[in-house]
Structure 1
Amino acid sequence: MAQTVAADTDLYTIEWDGDIDTVTFTWDEFASGERFKDGANALLEYVQSNDVAKVIHDTSGIQAHDDEDLAWLQSEWYPKMVDAGLRYSAIVHQESVISQMDTEDFVEDVKDMPYKLMHTADLEEAREWMAGN
């Protein structure tokens, strides 16, 4: 795995994986409100600056996001990511029924956006899916 760390904070890590031309964004701890938006916008800036089409969002280390933050992702942030060039997105959630259900609800809410989205509890499965796209 040829990963280059682009940003590493207490809140998140951004890594470029040249083997599969994908950015992996890992939430390292729970965040909400402005702190959540700051982390998400750091990824947006990376995507905009580096012509990125594929992103893995690794949320497996946290239980869930706040409903208000998810609504912001859906209505404001994801459209900006698509405008920046996002074409493939994978969400890696915790291995729990609650996390899976929350992720499935979110995926349903953004299914009409012009990019392909998958979700899994397995980071390696997300990497394999990205490698095939």
Structure 2
Amino acid sequence: MRYSLVFHAPEPQEGGPHPSAEVMAEMQKLMSDYADALYSAGVFIAAEMLEPQQATTTVTRRGGSVVIEDGPFAATKEALAGVFVIDVVSRDAALAWAEKFPGTSYGVVEVRAAAVSYIDGHWVQP
């Protein structure tokens, strides 16, 4: 069954403190090691780490017109930072992988089962 490990983390504030280059390099190494472990275990589907929410563009359709706006939908302290999609046998297995996610030292991982997935050209329900 596919699960998304949805990572939320605090956004660096403009003019506020940012992680040092050393801290960023260490986290990148930890994330690479984590992705490698998922891949080696045969459960890795995809992973995306996202740009800061200031780089977001929001697209909506209101009153029949498409509206494109700069910026996130909602201002929050924690923002969507990335998503890992895995295919494991159970919720417990997904939780076990989430417990190993390096970003939990400063953010939150939301574990959500896929309700339906688009695989090989068609929609599939688990």
Relative to the length of structure 1, the TM-score reads: 0.27
Larger Rg: 2
Relative to the length of structure 2, the TM-score reads: 0.28
Q: Which has the higher strand share?
A: 2
Larger relative CO (CA 8 A, sep 6+): 1 or 2?
A: 2
